[in-house]
Structure 1
Amino acid sequence: MSIYYSGTFTRSGGVVSAIGKQLKLLNLKAVSRIIVKFDPFKENTISARELLFHLSTPKISGTNPKCVLRTEILCGRQPSEISFLLNDPAQKQAQLKEIKLLPENLSTLELLQICNKHISTLAPQEEIATTKTKLEKKQVGTKKGSKKK
């Protein structure tokens, strides 16, 4: 009698590869300003600081060069907060002006997944430019000419 195999055949890449995958999907075209607030002396600010690092990399900031990334250092043991201020088309689509995240008990991976779920989906879709060959242009011209006859 054999035992049914119920696991995976390969091992996962781990947390680092999952963060890399989420960073590739991140798109900030719907955001006009990002404000990251944290108290550096509080215990649960590591994920907010790591998200700030990832958002400031050239590849991520290159998705929207007009997006302003602002950091506010708090004192008095206040909770961390990440605010995404949306631009006008995204505000109309989401019917929100601002999206706030409280990263107190979340990991960096979970924050990136939330950003992709709620912010990257608001980004406008890019139209793929297609080029026509000479043969396709001639075929389009003959089809129009044949309809006129």
Structure 2
Amino acid sequence: MDIKEIQNLIKFVAKSGATEVKLEMDDFKITIKTTDAGSTETTYIQQVPVNSALPQAAAAQPTAPTAPTAESAAATEAAKVADQDSKYITVKSPIIGTFYRKPSPDKPAFAEVGTTIKTGDVVCVIEAMKLFNEIESEVSGKIVKVLVDDASPVEFDQPLFLVDPS
């Protein structure tokens, strides 16, 4: 499901009068909650973890050289981070948008380096199309590194945090 389809789904739910809609696909889950007035209150998009054997199989396949793009540069950077910190789990962005570490400018950050988090804890928000999507951790552990600056644009599947699961 691409971002246009998600946007259309959000608009449809807001107009339908439904108060909550949950959609589960093979690789992600979406929960959309609306207020009584019909405006969208919160949208949660959560990427479901894929089989851990997949990245190893992809790394074993030879690749042809191509011209570098911003997307491939981000993927290369993610691979470097993964190699250097292989004992850590990476929390990645499930959507494209603007990354914020705080719920608002006058509030404390959701997660700092050294913070212990549990599965389901909100670690940041990502603004996409004027909607602030709370991003929940899919892992438990301690935040060891924040990989994105506050108020920075992020891409789908971009690493956001490194978590020590031990």
> Which TM-score band (shorter chain)?
under 0.3
TM-score normalised by L of structure 1: 0.23
TM-score normalised by L of structure 2: 0.21
Q: Specify the structure having the higher radius of gyration (Cα).
A: 1
More strand as a share of residues: 2
Relative contact order: is structure 1 or structure 2 higher (C-alpha 8 Å, sep ≥ 6)? Answer: 1
